[in-house]
Amino acid sequence: MTELHASAGTGPGDAHFTVFTDREDAAAVARSFAHPGTRTLKHPSGRPWLVGQWDDQEIVTAHAGPASLAVLGCCPIDATELERRAGRLRDLAELDTLARTLPGSFHLVAALDGQLRVQGTASGLRLVFHAAVDGVRVAASRADVLADALGAQPDEEQLAVRLLWPAPYPLFETSLWREVTAVAPEDALIVGADGRSARHSRWWSPPEPVRTLTDSAPLVRQALAQAVDARTRQGGVVSCDLSGGLDSTSICFLADRSAARVVASTWPGRDPADTDLYWAQQAAKHLPDVEHVVWDADASPLVYDDLLSIDDLLDEPTIGVMDRSRVLHHLPAMAERGSRLHLTGIGGDHVAWCSEAYYHRLLRTRPPFALRQLRGFRALWQWPLGATVRALADARPYGKWLEDSSGHLRDPIPATVTTSLGWGMPPRLFDWVTPDAERMAQRALREAAATTGPLHPDRGLHADLEQIRACTRIVRQWDRMAARVGVPMASPFLDDRVIEASLAVRPNERVSPWEYKPLLTAAMRGIVPEECLRRTNKAAASMDAAEGLRRHRADLLALWEDSRLEQLGLVDGKALRHLAQRPSSPGLREAILYSTIAAEVWLRGLSPARTR
């Protein structure tokens, strides 16, 4: 781990680490990762096992015979239980069961008979990477730590891929450095006893969506309650977003049932039609023990705020930089009120709702029902009949869809129904992206098309999993930013157990044009008052985004001066500077600049250790 990372400051919520086998050559490499501010956890032999930064409350460890286990992150397991598990461990594959049963969000690290096993979460919120450092296989929770140790430079083709809007699976899950390998969320990394060989072993598969909503609602309630309890059982003060939406409201009411004292935080929208504040106040009436803080809407940071001053150490570009100021702005005030942790409702949209793409299959298996529902969706989302028919008739497998997408990167953005009923939104590149970048992105898409299948054969479940994993790529960076500010964030909806309980519900009962989030409504009945469960919409921050684009156009113009992407030949800086002077240009409201801004901000924030 580089000195830059060691000096950046860490606290609860910002655990990051590297893992080493119990060998002398690995111990020699581990010493190069140890700097002032880092901590070392040792094998029974005394050689380094984990080197990194973590808070005592974020780690539980156990040693028993030839086995060692470590849980890093949020998990209610205690040392005694973990030691019992370690004492019974005979094969690393046995940890599949443990990883699929524990609540919370955590990394699980094991050493047994000289081998290592390192895994994150199925959600993708906690990831694993590995690389050969001086011939020794090193695992890490962050890709940039390994890249720094290798002196590696970002791969230009991967940067070109990240300019796609959006980058489809699996392209957005690849490391930005060729020398660093990313482990898929559903896989665990196994490092051999030789300290050099490595393989990926699948530990997680999504549940088949076969349960009824009636049977599933208690299971979702239990999983979400356990997720909140894992964060609040220590008591103290915790803060919660209370936007008035079903997701954050559910988290607030569950937190209020805990031993912790709750402070609720509401940012009203600038749009007069925004009803978030009304619904938040209705919820607060039923939470007499909760301190409710309502912020001044006009004081809320806008989208694109402070882009030029972002200096967080990120291991990949993220469109989360666009909303960084909005996400973090109130956390210092929460800290002043004693909050040790901030709970959000992020992820509720991804697990309590689901993709309409399930109806591609349902149309073929339950035609009368699917047609009735599709008529409702057409009315709800204003889908044109012709585009709907074409989307439903498109039976291309995922690989063919990816391959075809590579030839249409400059086409107009397709109709919403194409995205909703298909494999996802086809990726696009825009006028400012150079032909060289386009060729690199096309090559990557074609290579992926030849080697990668979907996350699930059902395009609905594939879309759900892809959206969850795309969301967690943003949230994992926000979590690091929040920990640096001083109040860690947590998003219980993105815990694996909550995701599993939600994905197991029949799609025709989880998404409907006639009901808003029926699964969450059923799960929270009896916990959240009926008055609050009646909300059937959510606010959009389109006015905040449009105003942010106008107000920060000077920052956008400055961003493209001396552009790093332009220096690499990936974008036309002149075209971007011209666009920054015209913030009301048609199309900008569709966030088409986001991926380009994300890549530029990331390149500017690279540590000196990664640039020459």
DSSP for 172-199 reads GGS-SSTTSEEEPTTEEEEE-TTSS-EE
pLDDT in tens, 570-603: 999 999 998 888 877 766 667 889 999 999 999 9
Mean pLDDT for all residues in the chain: 92
Q: Higher confidence at residue 1 or residue 337?
A: 337
The pTM of this model reads 0.95
Residue 507: predicted pLDDT: 95
Rounded distance between C-alpha atoms, residue 441 and residue 158, angstroms: 8
Mean pLDDT of 439-448: 98
Residue 542: predicted pLDDT: 57
- List Cβ<8 Å contacts ≥24 apart for 566-573: 568/156, 568/159, 569/434, 569/436, 569/437, 570/156, 570/159, 570/160, 570/163, 570/433, 570/434, 570/436, 570/437, 570/599, 571/163, 571/432, 571/433, 571/434, 571/437, 571/596, 572/431, 572/432, 572/433, 572/434
Rounded distance between C-alpha atoms, residue 525 and residue 597, angstroms: 42
Contact call for residues 146 and 130 (beta carbons, < 8 A): yes
Rounded distance between C-alpha atoms, residue 284 and residue 276, angstroms: 12
Rounded distance between C-alpha atoms, residue 209 and residue 426, angstroms: 25
Residue 538: predicted pLDDT: 66
Place of tokens 């699976």: 169
pLDDT of residue 16 exceeding 90: yes
Query: Nearest-5° angle of CA 158, CA 162, CA 168?
Result: 105
Rounded distance between C-alpha atoms, residue 405 and residue 161, angstroms: 13
pLDDT in tens, 445-456: 999 999 999 999
Contact call for residues 431 and 596 (beta carbons, < 8 A): no
Rounded distance between C-alpha atoms, residue 464 and residue 449, angstroms: 20
pLDDT in tens, 26-85: 999 999 999 888 999 999 999 999 999 999 999 999 999 999 999 999 999 999 999 999
| 354 backbone dihedrals φ, ψ, rounded to 5° | -155, 175
DSSP structure class, residue 555: H
Rounded distance between C-alpha atoms, residue 475 and residue 542, angstroms: 21
7 pLDDT tier (thresholds 50, 70, 90): very low
Q: Domains in the chain, start-ordered, CATH in brackets?
A: 3-202 (3.60.20.10), 213-352+476-539 (3.40.50.620), 543-610 (no CATH)
Closest CA to 314 of 16, 100, 612: 16
9 pLDDT tier (thresholds 50, 70, 90): very low
pLDDT of residue 354 exceeding 80: yes
Query: Which of 271-275, 316-320, 548-552 has the weakest average pLDDT?
Result: 271-275
pLDDT of residue 4 exceeding 90: no
pLDDT of residue 5 exceeding 50: no
Contact call for residues 188 and 200 (beta carbons, < 8 A): yes
